[in-house]
Chains A and B, each alone.
Chain A
Amino acid sequence: MTLKTILAAAALGAVAATATLAEEVKIGIAAEPYPPFASVDASGTWIGWEVEVIDAVCAAAALDCVLTPVAWDGIIPSLTGGQIDAIMASMSITEERMKTIGFSDAYYNTPTVIVGDKALDLDATPEGLKGKILGVQASTIHQAYAQQYFTDAAEIRIYQTQDEANQDLVAGRIDATQADSIAMADFVSTDAGGCCEIKGTVADDPAILGQGVGAGVRKGDDDLRASLNKGIAAILADGTHAAITSRYFKASIY
């Protein structure tokens, strides 16, 4: 997907072309690996489901996008501070975040699960986690959810990246971790993740867990939001979304 093809596509759709075309749009992604959605490979390029979706959305919306890795923990301040123009880093659309930033329409949605050591008897309820150590990634819906529902039952440890929580789960320092079901399904299928299994899906709470993953934009940046919505709608309609998904996952994640 070179610049030329994007420009050519934009020229063809000149009727709908907007003034945002010429400007570079910095898409913020989490700098820490989050497979299978976004991670760096050995040659230093970003790969993964979400990276491909970003490419497709930008192409469909005729945006000139640049991937900009930012620390996950500071990704919202980076957006409001102007280092990036949009967040596409598996960020769930929640009411709490909507107070600070705006969101596009959702482009995927998955349930939240608890993964634990195979040898341990636990499940995704406060009773099931009693006396256990639960690891979550900082600044995520999982941290908010765990603090809301599991604080009294379990000891909660907060990690900067999900990767490090997984690492400590393998090391046995924590008994379980709460995270997105797809990322976890990917993790337990690896060699290292062989220690552990998905113990169950947590009870839904849309107020905390949100309504799917969308692209975050600055409040008032309605042009960009409209463009991204257009791009998301386009790749959902023309099958690009499904085609990318089928290369990574068995079932649809929309």
Chain B
Amino acid sequence: MTGWRAFMQPHRLFLMALFGGLILWCALSLRWDWLPEYAPLALEGLWRTIWILVVTTVLGFALAVPLGLAQAVGPWYLSAPAKAFCTVIRGTPLLLQIWLLYYGLGSLFPQFPWIRGSELWPYLRQAWPYAVLALTLSYAGYEGEVMRGAFASVNKGQLEAARAFGMPRLTMFRRIWLPQAIRNVLPTLGGETILQLKATPLVATITVIEIYSVSSRVRSDTFIVYEPLLLLALVYMIIAGIIAFAFKKVEDRVPDRPRRG
């Protein structure tokens, strides 16, 4: 508990009292009467935000592994497109990517009438598949670059040892290379996931209803500007805090990386 005592210094108590007062002031003198009416919608939006975050980080990471591998050790015909993909994703604003996917692809539909007859049409009509696709590609682009470094920095001696024992290449990848690469990126993964969380409100611009768009809805219905935004900021901070805490826990459970000699 020494950490806790070190944390509780006199000036911190003062600051806490100050912030407590600020929060109390916010709670008492700002308008919160809209909250009960919009609470169900807000919960639905919160669920959608978390759902999008989880699905796109998992899919994006799965895509980042081959992207990183191709760049780290792949032949040029694999590494060049992977590198180009990462450069394009990282070099253009996500908002533009989302609009290109949603409205750009949408503008092609009228030219190809058969699309509307296809079995995919019920999905293509909705907004969330485009949101998931755009955010997945974005996460893959950023994380692919990170994975490249992670694959490259795995100790060569271990790979050579595995090969010397006649381990098949796939087993070697699964048992030695990938686990160590993931351990290398683990400290950055939490930060990248928080960045992904911060990217989710952009999908509100293509009619996906998540927590940010609920706050816009409150603003447009009631003309209350600050209160929904402040609450929204608080919600994002709490989610970011949970993500940081969870990754810290996972990181603590993974044994330290061996010192390189």
A residues contacting B by CB (< 8 A) are: 73, 76-77, 80, 96-97, 99-100, 133, 135, 138-139, 143-144, 147, 157-160, 164, 167-168, 170-173, 192, 195
Closest A residue to B125 by beta carbon equals: A173
Taking a contact as CB atoms closer than 8 A, the residue among B107, B127, B220 that contacts A138 in the complex is B220
Closest B residue to A140 by beta carbon equals: B220
A172 to B106, CA, bound (A): 8
Q: Which of B169-209 contact A (CB under 8 A)?
A: 205, 207, 209
The answer on a CB contact under 8 Å between B225 and A171 is no
A167 to B99, CA, bound (A): 12
Q: Given A158-B213, A172-B109, A172-B110, A100–B223 Cβ distance below 8 Å?
A: yes
Nearest 4 pairs between A and B by C-beta?
A139-B220, A171-B106, A100-B223, A171-B109
A75 to B107, CA, bound (A): 28
Residues of chain A within 8 A (CB-CB) of B205 are 160
Residues of chain B within 8 A (CB-CB) of A168 are 106
The answer on a CB contact under 8 Å between A158 and B223 is no
Residues of chain B within 8 A (CB-CB) of A97 are 223
13 pairs, CB–CB < 8 Å, chain A vs chain B: A73-B220, A76-B223, A80-B225, A100-B223, A135-B207, A138-B217, A147-B221, A157-B207, A158-B207, A158-B213, A172-B110, A173-B124, A173-B125
Residues of chain B within 8 A (CB-CB) of A157 are 127, 207
* Among A135, A171, A195, residue most surrounded by chain B Cβ atoms (within 10 Å): A171
Q: Which of B208-231 contact A (CB under 8 A)?
A: 209, 213, 216-217, 219-221, 223, 225
CB distance from B130 to the nearest CB of A (A): 10
Number of residues on chain B facing chain A (CB within 8 A) = 21
Instruction: Decide yes or no whether B31 CB sits under 8 A from chain A.
Output: no
Residues of chain A within 8 A (CB-CB) of B248 are none
CB distance from A118 to the nearest CB of B (A): 13
The answer on a CB contact under 8 Å between B220 and A167 is no
Residues of chain A within 8 A (CB-CB) of B110 are 170-172, 192, 195
CB distance from A116 to the nearest CB of B (A): 15
The answer on a CB contact under 8 Å between B225 and A159 is no
Taking a contact as CB atoms closer than 8 A, the residue among A135, A144, A159, A170 that contacts B221 in the complex is A144
B residues contacting A by CB (< 8 A) are: 103, 106-107, 109-110, 116, 124-127, 205, 207, 209, 213, 216-217, 219-221, 223, 225
Residues of chain A within 8 A (CB-CB) of B221 are 144, 147
Residues of chain A within 8 A (CB-CB) of B107 are 167, 170-171
* Among A77, A97, A160, A168, residue most surrounded by chain B Cβ atoms (within 10 Å): A168
Residues of chain A within 8 A (CB-CB) of B207 are 135, 157-159
A97 to B219, CA, bound (A): 12
Residues of chain B within 8 A (CB-CB) of A159 are 207
CB distance from A219 to the nearest CB of B (A): 12
The answer on a CB contact under 8 Å between A143 and B225 is no
A173 to B130, CA, bound (A): 12
Closest A residue to B124 by beta carbon equals: A173
Taking a contact as CB atoms closer than 8 A, the residue among B109, B124, B223, B225 that contacts A99 in the complex is B223
A138 to B205, CA, bound (A): 10
Closest B residue to A72 by beta carbon equals: B220
Closest A residue to B209 by beta carbon equals: A158
CB distance from B98 to the nearest CB of A (A): 12
A17 to B225, CA, bound (A): 36
The answer on a CB contact under 8 Å between A167 and B225 is no
11 more contacts with CB within 8 A, not counting A73-B220, A77-B225, are A77-B219, A96-B223, A135-B207, A158-B207, A164-B103, A167-B103, A172-B116, A173-B124, A173-B125, A173-B126, A173-B127
